[in-house]
Amino acid sequence: MGKLIFKYGSMGSSKTAQALMTRYNYEAKGTRVWLVKSSADTRDGADILRSRIGLQANAFVITPGMNVKELFEVQRMDGEHYEVIIADEAQFFTEEQIWQFREIASDYDVLVICYGLRTDFRCQLFPGSRALFQLADDIDEISSVCRCGRKTVVNARIGADGRVTVQGPQVEIGGNDKYESLCWTCWRNELRANGVKNLSEVL
């Protein structure tokens, strides 16, 4: 049973909803689940995991300085023998923390399912996502549809002027007010309309 799985998709692809439904299905069968999320996700409250369709649950919050394996081992010593770990916003975990999830899966025969983004608004891999692509046993894409009908691949950031931008820090928390999931072609066309002619010069 011990595996590390990465389920990735663009924003709005129902990753959090699937994470919560997966947790429900396991717990309905009597399986102990540890639901965790990155501390970078503060949209709905520090320890709240909420999907766009209204599903929500309390989650254990992982900060960048925490050792996930040590936390898991402390839980075991306290009598919490989790069989499944479900981790949301996995792109925000550090590479070291992804290695720790990997070790938990192998050392304790635990199923670890990480949900998150693949890339940022510049199509650059997040550190946590890069580590998951390197270490996961299984990698599954959760697809969603662009406004044009193609598959979304870019989490386009919307600037203060309401236009797609490639400026700013990699991590900037927001919802539909700050991001729109687009296919690569629509994203490129938006940037070209904003005067960006050569993407390789700005990415």
Name the phi and psi angles at 162, rounded to 5. 85, 10
Instruction: Please report which helix (H) or strand (E) contains residue 58, including its range.
Output: strand 56-58
pLDDT tens for the chain, 203 residues: list them.
799 999 999 988 888 899 999 999 999 999 999 999 998 877 766 677 777 766 777 899 999 999 999 999 998 988 889 999 999 999 999 999 999 999 999 999 999 999 999 998 888 899 999 999 999 999 999 999 999 999 999 998 888 888 888 877 687 765 567 889 999 999 999 888 887 777 665 66
The yes/no answer on whether domain 3-141 falls in CATH 3.40.50.300 is yes
The Cβ of residue 36 has, within 10 Å, a number of other Cβ atoms equal to 25
CA–CA separation, 10 and 142 (whole Å): 8
Q: Where are the alpha helices (DSSP H) in 136-197?
A: 184-193
- Catalytically annotated residue among 89, 103, 190, 201: 89
Residues carrying CATH 3.40.50.300, the chain: 3-141
pLDDT of residue 44: 66
Looking at the DSSP bridge assignments, the partners of residue 154 are: 182
Q: Would you call 80 a catalytic residue per the annotation?
A: no
Instruction: List the structure tokens of 113.
Output: 């399912």
C-beta separation of 191 from 180 below 8 A? no
Q: Would you state the pLDDT for residue 203?
A: 61
d(CA 31, CA 23): 9
pTM of the entire structure?
A: 0.89
Half-sphere exposure of 63 (CA within 13 A, CB side): 3
